[in-house]
């Protein structure tokens, strides 16, 4: 197979990631305009065919597990979550692990966490006072970590939750995105680089998780995921080791709270920079009466559209990678085994053929038409689609409702905030500072 079957694109291994990191939105605008909706990006982790074409996204998201592997490699990712993470599993072990982990994040089991979500929001609001400026990125992280800690391993001791919050913030803050591109940065360098700080925060977090595992092994099993993992048995009758459970807990903790928190921080940013949207949303929420149940809140169509529009405009996870084990036909192109492909959420969500005036925050677009799972991809797709998608959207709705209902806010500054890569996620550069004007009961 020759290179000529690959799409045209960029071959400078060093400059490509730098331009991408500086401003992926501008970078993509230029390359898609120059090369078309599918192009070749060559970086230090190898060649990646990136697409914003929904037809190509469909081909990628309907691949079977046996056809895809992990990008860049397990070893290139296990410094983030540990080698026993579902994120790094493939084939049958991956399918089995998803089956084990998914149920609490859907349906009635998910809805049972409504109270936890509302209480975590109220506890956070209690720490606010009128006149104070609160960084909503940090505040949303505190809420979502408290939620995930309770949902995943029944951690309810506030002191333990606070410890976990501190280490997890330290971990994320030191997860420099350059480490993802350049393996040479994943070294200690006499303790001077962000890597040892990140690894030390990770070890502290893992210590908390291992203590929880031991506590769980000593008590009667509950409904939480940790209890399930502790009592799960493989086909050969063996049980999950502490190390396996620890890696999975860390994955759920990080994948399940950092993302939702950034999604919420962006939501508040957009709402308070688009006053007409906020008025319309407040009208919808007021119509629910004084103390609506969680289900009524979750059914609000405009709230749902605001969350979708926020996840569209600045997706938290910008790319969904698959490493090809077999040749892949994408329209006129053939991607050889060993190459990676990426369905680009930034690319698709700003594809002018799907979302005209894409930099305008306009939730109405989600009421006017339905977008296919290959046009709107904030949670990826196919056999590896995010297992927490329903949970995250439910949480975002309940948290947003509580804050909008009990708080009057204003942006602490009016300048636009741009997305910044924070490891595998994108968040608001410098946080989202909000001024608390008034708090009501």
Q: Which CB atom, from 50 or from 436, has the smaller least distance to ligand HEM?
A: 50
| Residues in contact with 73: Cβ distance below 8 Å, sequence separation at least 6, in sequence order | 323
Cβ 343 to ligand HEM shortest distance, Å: 8
3-class state of residue 68 by DSSP: strand
Cβ nearer to ligand HEM, comparing 24 with 378: 378
Instruction: Name which of 9 and 315 has its Cβ closer to ligand HEM.
Output: 315
CB of 145 to ligand HEM, least distance (A): 11
Angle at alpha carbon of residue 375, lines to 372 and 378, rounded to 5°: 105
Give whichever of 120 and 387 is closer to ligand HEM, judged by the CB atom. Answer: 387
Query: How far apart are the C-alpha atoms of 382 and 374, rounded to whole Å?
Result: 10
* Residue listed under structure tokens 């927490």: 388
Q: How far is the CB of 439 from ligand HEM (least distance, A)?
A: 26
Strand partners, 48: 41, 340
Rounded least distance, CB 70 to ligand HEM, Å: 9
CB of 427 to ligand HEM, least distance (A): 11
DSSP 261-312: HHHHHHHHHHHHH-HHHHHHHHHHHHTT-SS--HHHHHT-HHHHHHHHHHHH
The strands making up 433-439's β-sheet, listed across from edge to edge, are 133-135, 433-439, 407-411
| Minimal distance, residue 320 CB to ligand HEM, in Å | 4
DSSP string, 26-48: HHHHHHHHHH-SEEEEEETTEEE
For 236, the enclosing helix (H) or strand (E) is none
**Cβ nearer to ligand HEM, comparing 36 with 103:** 103
Q: Which residues pair with 435 in a beta bridge?
A: 133, 410
Residue number with CB closer to ligand HEM (70 or 179): 70
| Closest CB 11 distance from ligand HEM, rounded Å | 26
**232 or 288: CB nearest ligand HEM:** 232
Cα end-to-end span (Å), the chain: 67
- Name the nearest CA neighbour of 278 among 287, 266, 267, 288: 267
Least distance (Å) between residue 425 CB and ligand HEM? 8
A 10 A CB-CB count for 258 gives: 26
Q: Which is nearer to ligand HEM, 195 or 374 (CB)?
A: 374
Q: Measured between alpha carbons, how far is 51 from 55 in angstroms, rounded to an integer?
A: 9
Q: Which residues of the chain form contacts with ligand HEM (CB under 6 A)?
A: 86-87, 98, 105, 251-252, 255-256, 259-260, 263, 316-317, 320, 378-382, 384-388, 391-392
């Amino acid at each position: 197979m020759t290179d000529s079957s690959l799409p045209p694109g960029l071959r400078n291994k060093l400059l490509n990631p730098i331009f991408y990191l500086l401003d992926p939105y501008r970078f993509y605008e230029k390359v898609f305009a120059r090369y078309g909706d599918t192009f070749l990006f060559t970086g230090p982790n190898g060649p990646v065919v990136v697409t914003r074409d929904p037809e190509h996204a469909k081909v990628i998201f309907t691949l079977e597990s046996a056809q895809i592997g992990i990008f860049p490699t397990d070893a290139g990712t296990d410094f983030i979550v540990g080698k026993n993470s579902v994120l790094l599993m493939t084939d049958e072990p991956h399918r089995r692990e998803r089956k084990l982990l998914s149920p609490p994040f859907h349906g009635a089991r998910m809805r049972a966490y409504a109270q936890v979500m509302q209480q975590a929001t109220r506890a956070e609001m209690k720490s606010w006072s009128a006149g104070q400026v609160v960084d909503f990125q940090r505040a949303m992280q505190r809420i979502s970590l408290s939620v995930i800690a309770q949902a995943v391993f029944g951690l309810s001791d506030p002191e333990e939750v606070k410890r976990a919050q501190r280490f997890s913030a330290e971990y994320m803050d030191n997860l420099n995105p350059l480490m993802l591109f350049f393996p040479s940065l994943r070294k200690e360098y006499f303790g001077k680089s962000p890597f040892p700080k990140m690894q030390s925060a990770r070890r502290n977090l893992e210590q908390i998780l291992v203590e929880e595992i031991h506590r769980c092994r000593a008590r009667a099993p509950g409904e939480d995921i940790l209890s399930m993992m502790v009592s799960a048995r493989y086909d050969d009758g063996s049980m999950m080791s502490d190390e396996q459970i620890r890696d999975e807990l860390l994955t759920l903790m990080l994948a399940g709270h950092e993302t939702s928190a950034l999604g919420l921080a962006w939501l508040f940013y957009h709402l308070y920079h688009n006053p007409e949207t906020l008025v319309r949303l407040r009208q919808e929420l007021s119509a629910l009466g004084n103390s609506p149940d969680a289900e009524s809140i979750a059914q609000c169509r405009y709230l749902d559209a605001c969350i979708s529009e926020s996840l569209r405009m600045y997706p938290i996870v910008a790319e969904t990678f698959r490493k090809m084990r077999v040749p892949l036909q994408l329209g006129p192109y053939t991607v050889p085994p060993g190459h990676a492909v990426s369905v680009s959420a930034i690319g698709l969500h700003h594809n002018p053929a799907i979302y005209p005036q894409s930099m305008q925050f306009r939730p109405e677009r989600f009421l006017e038409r339905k977008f296919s799972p290959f046009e709107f991809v904030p949670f990826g797709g196919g056999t590896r689609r995010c297992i927490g998608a329903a949970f995250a959207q439910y949480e975002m709705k309940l948290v947003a409702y509580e804050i909008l209902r009990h708080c009057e806010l204003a942006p602490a500054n009016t300048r636009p905030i741009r997305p910044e890569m924070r490891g595998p996620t994108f968040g608001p550069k410098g946080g989202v500072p909000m001024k608390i004007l008034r708090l009501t009961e």
